[in-house]
């Protein structure tokens, strides 16, 4: 019974689409063979859309953004090199350290998360979150976000280091652009 109902729904859906004019027979002899021209014409007439602004990039080799060309990313990695990293994802724009602790206090450990909100060196282009884990002798742990100046200090240190890296690269190579900024 359910199978019959599904088949009837699919047939009704097909007839509904066919009657709306979505499917239309076209004489292939009257269609322009140049796909780029057809796409541009459809977009101008409002019958299509463009993903990732593809027409603007058709004549270029593409824009490749590597971690080595992003000063914020490089500054963050350099600043956090003292700690073990558990997740580093450039395409996702996030760096997460593993739990680490000071030799003086083994019951308390810290984890730092750096989220990149923009490729530009700006204060609102990066978000730093610091978590603290405190464990008791029974190994029961409590995790909480630290609301202290540490987040701001790390963020400021990353921004300063990124600005220095970008300035040094501009001095070495004035034509070099880290990332295209619109």
Provide the residue ranges of all domains of the chain, joining segments of one domain with +.
2-57, 67-172
Say how far residue 73 (Cα) sits from the centre of its chain.
Answer: 12
pLDDT band for position 157 (cuts 50, 70, 90): very high
Supply the pLDDT for residue 61.
Answer: 46
Strand spans (E) along 18-107:
85-89, 94-97
The residues near 41 (Cβ < 8 Å, ≥ 6 apart) are: 32
Reply yes or no on whether the pLDDT at 164 is more than 80: yes
Reply yes or no on whether the pLDDT at 52 is more than 60: no
Model pLDDT for residues 108-140, shown as the tens digit of each residue: 899 999 999 887 888 888 999 999 999 888 888
Model pLDDT for residues 70-84, shown as the tens digit of each residue: 888 889 999 998 889
> 3-class DSSP state for residue 78?
helix
The angle that helices 71-79 and 149-172 make with each other, rounded to 10 degrees, is 130
**DSSP assignment letter at 99:** P
State the average pLDDT over residues 60-73.
Answer: 63
> CA torsion, points 13, 15, 18, 22, in degrees to nearest 10?
-10
Reply yes or no on whether the pLDDT at 23 is more than 60: no
Supply the pLDDT for residue 25.
Answer: 67
């Amino acid at each position: 019974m359910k199978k019959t109902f599904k088949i009837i729904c699919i047939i009704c859906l097909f007839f509904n689409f066919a009657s709306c004019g979505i499917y239309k027979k076209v004489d292939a002899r009257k269609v322009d063979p140049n796909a780029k021209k057809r796409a541009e014409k459809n977009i101008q007439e409002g019958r299509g859309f463009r993903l990732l602004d593809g027409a603007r990039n058709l004549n270029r080799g593409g824009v490749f953004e590597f971690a080595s060309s992003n000063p914020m990313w490089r500054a963050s990695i350099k600043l956090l090199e003292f700690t073990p990293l558990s997740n580093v994802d450039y395409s996702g724009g996030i760096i997460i350290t593993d739990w680490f602790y000071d030799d003086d206090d083994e019951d308390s450990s810290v984890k730092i998360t750096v989220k990149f909100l923009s490729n530009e060196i700006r204060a609102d282009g990066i978000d730093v979150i610091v978590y603290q884990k405190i464990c008791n002798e029974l190994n029961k742990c409590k995790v909480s976000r630290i609301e202290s100046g540490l987040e701001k200090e790390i963020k400021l240190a990353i921004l300063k280091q990124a600005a220095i890296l970008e300035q040094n690269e501009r001095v070495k190579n004035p034509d070099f652009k880290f990332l295209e900024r619109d």
